[in-house]
Amino acid sequence: MFIKTLLSPFKNQPWFRRLNSKITYEYLAKYVPAEDWHFMNYGYMPNADEPTLKLDKEPLQVYPLRMYHYLALKTQIEGKTVLEVGSGRGGGARHIAATMKPLQYTGLDLAHHAVDLANKIHQLPNLKFIQGSAESLPLADNSVDVVINVESCHAYGDVAKFLSEVKRVLKPGGYFLMVDFRYAKDFELLQQQLRDCGLKKLSEENISDNVVRAIEAEDPAKRERIQKLIPARWQKLFCEFAGVVGSKFHSNLKDHTRYYYRYSFMKPN
């Protein structure tokens, strides 16, 4: 509690957001290297009118996998060069690379340990993971057909810089697919950044309710995993971080003090 109060004035500082996410995700990949923990997003429960996703074998984290699946359905992936920014432990990259036939899928993440873990546990000929920053993408101009970004850009120091990097690396006619959350009070800033980024908005959906339903459906399995993987003294803190039912994140989405949105954009020709 004392540490939380001490850090609260810095929370909106770009350097603090960068440092905080670097430490958190390096630590998680290094100290919890569980090879069956593939996702770090809150999950998605599809709408009744979305196509059913049939899987040969239901993965442990089916709702976080669906977050990726239904986002990627917003464009054609087959034969395309895809860059994912903030690929984490690589489960979404693996699902798309294995089932949607991209020519090449590159997952990029700030956390070295997450990149090493993803390269170790997901090995496919059209898939690789590299370390780098969303704010300075190590790719050539006009080189990528699709950029994917799942629950990551809230952690960046400079979101406008990230969006300018997305525009730079996308080929004309390329797609940018993104899902993320913001506090209601910060949502207009995100909307402004997206309006100013030079990409053409194709769709925008408030998926907060889909995420709430996924959190509730996944809750027993999530709590069981936390008990198995996380040392006892960290479990309470981790339950908050992971967004179990009753956590601040879950309550905020339900009472509309936070929103979770899904977007698709195209770079003009």
Ligand X SMILES: C[S@@+](CC[C@H](N)C(=O)[O-])C[C@H]1O[C@@H](n2cnc3c(N)ncnc32)[C@H](O)[C@@H]1O
Enumerate binding residues for ligand X (CB under 6 A): 21, 25, 39-41, 85-88, 92, 109-111, 114, 133-135, 150-152, 155-156
Q: Which is nearer to ligand X, 109 or 218 (CB)?
A: 109
- Distance in angstroms (rounded) separating the CA atoms of residues 151 and 35: 21
To the nearest whole angstrom, how small is the minimum distance from the Cβ of residue 99 to ligand X? 16
Q: Cα angle at 94 between 88 and 96, to 5 degrees?
A: 110
Closest residue to ligand X in the complex (CB) = 88
Q: Which is nearer to ligand X, 30 or 173 (CB)?
A: 30
Query: Could you please report the per-residue DSSP string of 56-109?
Result: SS--TTHHHHHHHHHHHTTS--TT-EEEEES-TTSHHHHHHHHHS--SEEEEEE
To the nearest whole angstrom, how small is the minimum distance from the Cβ of residue 249 to ligand X? 11
| Amino acid present at 185 | K
Q: Which is nearer to ligand X, 96 or 114 (CB)?
A: 114
Q: Which is nearer to ligand X, 19 or 200 (CB)?
A: 19
Take residue 21 and report the two structure tokens written for it: 């996410």
Q: Which is nearer to ligand X, 100 or 172 (CB)?
A: 100
Residue written as token pair 């797609």: 175
To the nearest whole angstrom, how small is the minimum distance from the Cβ of residue 144 to ligand X? 15
Q: Which is nearer to ligand X, 10 or 200 (CB)?
A: 10
To the nearest whole angstrom, how small is the minimum distance from the Cβ of residue 269 to ligand X? 28
To the nearest whole angstrom, how small is the minimum distance from the Cβ of residue 56 to ligand X? 21
3-state secondary structure 180-221: EEEEHHHHHHHHHHHHCCCCEEEEEEECHHHHHHHHHHHHHH
Take residue 142 and report the two structure tokens written for it: 């006009």
To the nearest whole angstrom, how small is the minimum distance from the Cβ of residue 148 to ligand X? 9
Exposed (0-12), middle (13-18) or buried (19+): which is 73, by Cβ within 10 Å? middle
